[in-house]
Amino acid sequence: DAGITQSPRHKVTETGTPVTLRCHQTENHRYMYWYRQDPGHGLRLIHYSYGVKDTDKGEVSDGYSVSRSKTEDFLLTLESATSSQTSVYFCAISDPGTSGMKQYFGPGTRLTVL
Amino acid sequence: EDQVTQSPEALRLQEGESSSLNCSYTVSGLRGLFWYRQDPGKGPEFLFTLYSAGEEKEKERLKATLTKKESFLHITAPKPEDSATYLCAVQAKGGSEKLVFGKGTKLTVNP
């Protein structure tokens, strides 16, 4: 299994509070991604990073920000959580140089916003 | 806009009853098509990458095939442990490493 951990694994929070999810990898892969998975929508890309301090938006980036200060860590922040952000969040990694285009996924974080 | 459509949404089979899952795609130049398996409460697990029409890949009871418009995941003599959601994704040419996923097919294999 690819060395990807996500924390926390479960979180319940209230509307309007800030939330930060962490993805940590031990594979030294260049690319890191944040997805959300919802019934009826499948996996949708929120943001991704192609290097330290290099990030770009995905298809559902509104309300989310990211940061990557080290190769191994990619943080997803919900500045002011809303109920529509209740979802399961997955981190993924890839590196064209070592593993081709395939992405490896972490175990997920289940976030509930009340 | 790149799109992936998977069918059926759900499929229920008896053990040993072979079938196929479909993934139709539209993409501005295909760089790769990916199949993943996802078990409940877990992250997707990589199965196959297909790069060009006519290509086939096999792993145990699974075989993935690719045409210019769709991919099939054939499951031969499935077992209950093959029960999972199968996801299809495409990556377009153009330098981006992003994947576009379909909504998945939930497969249940009854003993």
Name the strand (E) or helix (H) holding B109.
strand B105-110
What is the pLDDT at residue B15?
97
CB contacts, 8 Å: B104 with chain A: 42
Q: Quick check: A17 pLDDT over 90?
A: yes
| Residues A112 and A49 sit within 8 Å (Cβ to Cβ) | no
Please work out, in degrees rounded to the nearest 5, the angle formed at the alpha carbon of residue A43 by the alpha carbons of A40 and A45: 130
CB pair distance less than 8 Å for B43 and A94: no
| Residues B102 and B88 sit within 8 Å (Cβ to Cβ) | yes
CB contacts, 8 Å: B36 with chain A: 105
CB pair distance less than 8 Å for B87 and A42: yes
> Per-residue pLDDT tens for A81-103?
999 999 999 999 998 776 668 89
Task: State the CB neighbour count (10 A cutoff) for residue A26.
Answer: 11
CB pair distance less than 8 Å for B98 and A48: yes
> Per-residue pLDDT tens for A102-113?
899 999 999 999
Considering only CB atoms, A43 lies closest to which of B45, B87, B97, namely B87
Strand A10-13 relative to strand A109-113, pairing: parallel
| Residues B73 and B64 sit within 8 Å (Cβ to Cβ) | yes
Q: Quick check: B28 pLDDT over 90?
A: no
List the single range of A25-29, A100-104, B45-49, B106-110 with lowest mean pLDDT: A100-104
